[in-house]
Amino acid sequence: MRDIVRQSFIAFSRPLEGPEAFADLVAPALSPEHLERLVLAKLDDLEILLAERFGNWASWPADAQLAMLSLTWVAGDGFGSPRFELACRSLAFDAVANECRIPDDRVSIERRNAANRTLFRNAGHVVRARLDPSVLYYPRDMRALSDRAITEPEFPAQKVPSSSAVKVAPPLDDE
């Protein structure tokens, strides 16, 4: 299995040659359970790195933690500019939202950028309004409805497994 993953990684790392570039690869057969264990182990590793990088990581709102895990998953643990770093350390999550763009024009990354901005803005609202930081407010955008940017895509609500330690905010009356 390791050899298949290694060969696949090497193939995916080479310059793009179009869709035919990966025709000779055999996708590794991972069970959903194995895949879930791998993803959760990676997230645990990333969280350890982020806790070392940001001493106040444990006190961050759930929305900010999810956004930072998203950024780190894609861009690595050294992601961010000095302004980004300072805003994170100061819990100035509205400023973080302005600095968190992954520089890539693929649609999937643009959607991730939009989601991360919403998550960080939500975290800013949680800090200002002194809301429960353990509640994940996303996919709700905590800005006033009149303040919504038309460039932000709407995402369907995601169900969180009941075994999860993260609480999900109930819908607002106007939703």
Spans of all domains in the chain:
32-168
Element (H, E) at 167: strand 167-168
pLDDT at res. 81? 81
d(CA 138, CA 122): 7
pLDDT at res. 8? 61
Q: Give the mean pLDDT of 89-96.
A: 91
Q: Give the mean pLDDT of 96-101.
A: 88
Q: Give the mean pLDDT of 112-141.
A: 91
Query: Which of 64-68, 108-112, 171-175 has the highest average model confidence (pLDDT)?
Result: 64-68
> How many Cβ atoms are within 10 Å of 112's Cβ, its own excluded?
20
pLDDT bucket at 48, cuts 50 / 70 / 90: very high
